[in-house]
Amino acid sequence: MNKAAQPVVHVLDDDDEVRDDLTAMVRAAGYVVVSYSRPSQFLEKLDHAMPGALVLDVRLPEMSGLELQRHLNHIGSILPVILITNHADIPMVVEAMREGAFDFLEKPVRSQDLLERVSAAIQKDASNRNSIRRHADICARFQTLSAREKEVLQLVVDGRANKVIALDLGLSERTVEVHRGNIMDKMGAQSLAHLVRMHMIIESGGGASRES
């Protein structure tokens, strides 16, 4: 993905007047906006590599906002979803939030409220994508370690001293020191604490979150 790609705000609402109003509000703030009247139109053009956010009406033809949220989860989309709802749809919104929706707004939508949510969603999306890139970079570095270096790394993050690691692995203490130096260089770790944090990221899976 091009890191300089401009975020795109997707607006999905089957009501032509509401959709046009939402699109005009967001576009007036300088965002690139693409609008859709049906979920199938949005899904056909969805590019997972493109940053941005989705402004989504809860009640739609083909599938509800909640069903679309679940589908986005299923296909691995990290695009933050802002739900637009009537008061009567609140239970559905609560369920969608549990499924990972970013936020919601009640109709009629105020321009200031919409733009605040869109700005926050785009910032969240950027943070998620940075986390994914960072995790991929750390994992790539980890894969350059030899099998022995991975063994030493695990013992290091477990808090074992060089002398103990040497005994555990049947190595000389000097050899352990060499392995530790190689690990620090290959991982690009600036300190032991930095190395431990990177190892935690690898073990956690480094997943992104749509929640605020």
List pLDDT tens digits, range 1-55: 444 589 999 999 999 999 999 999 999 999 999 999 999 999 999 999 999 999 9
Through-space distance between the first and last CA atoms of the chain, rounded to whole angstroms: 23
Q: Which of 100, 129, 158 is the last residue of a domain?
A: 129
Regarding whether 103 and 14 lie in a shared domain, the answer is yes
Regarding whether 115 and 71 lie in a shared domain, the answer is yes
Q: Could you give the CA distance from residue 146 to residue 121 in angstroms, rounded to a whole number?
A: 40
CATH code where residue 178 lies: 1.10.10.10
The predicted structure's pLDDT at residue 5:
80
What's the pTM value of the predicted model, to 2 decimals?
Answer: 0.75
Regarding whether 115 and 186 lie in a shared domain, the answer is no
Regarding whether 183 and 101 lie in a shared domain, the answer is no
Regarding whether 46 and 102 lie in a shared domain, the answer is yes
Average pLDDT over residues 160-181: 95
The predicted structure's pLDDT at residue 168:
93
Q: What's the number of domains the chain is made of?
A: 2
**Cα distances (Å, whole numbers) of residue 104 to 153, 154, 185:** 44, 43, 46
Which of 158, 139, 145 lies closest to 198, judged by CA? 139
Regarding whether 180 and 92 lie in a shared domain, the answer is no
Q: Could you give the CA distance from residue 53 to residue 33 in angstroms, rounded to a whole number?
A: 10
**Starting at the edge strand that comes first in sequence, how are the strands of the sheet with 103-106 ordered?**
32-36, 8-12, 52-57, 81-85, 103-106
- Partners of 53 in the β-ladder: 9
CATH code where residue 117 lies: 3.40.50.2300
Q: Whole-number mean pLDDT of the chain? A: 90
Return the higher-pLDDT residue of 205 and 161.
161
Q: Could you give the CA distance from residue 195 to residue 184 in angstroms, rounded to a whole number?
A: 7
Regarding whether 100 and 170 lie in a shared domain, the answer is no
Q: Could you give the CA distance from residue 201 to residue 110 in angstroms, rounded to a whole number?
A: 39
Q: Which of 129, 155, 173 is the last residue of a domain?
A: 129
Regarding whether 109 and 84 lie in a shared domain, the answer is yes
Domain that includes residue 148, residue range? 144-204
Q: Which of 70, 98, 129 is the last residue of a domain?
A: 129
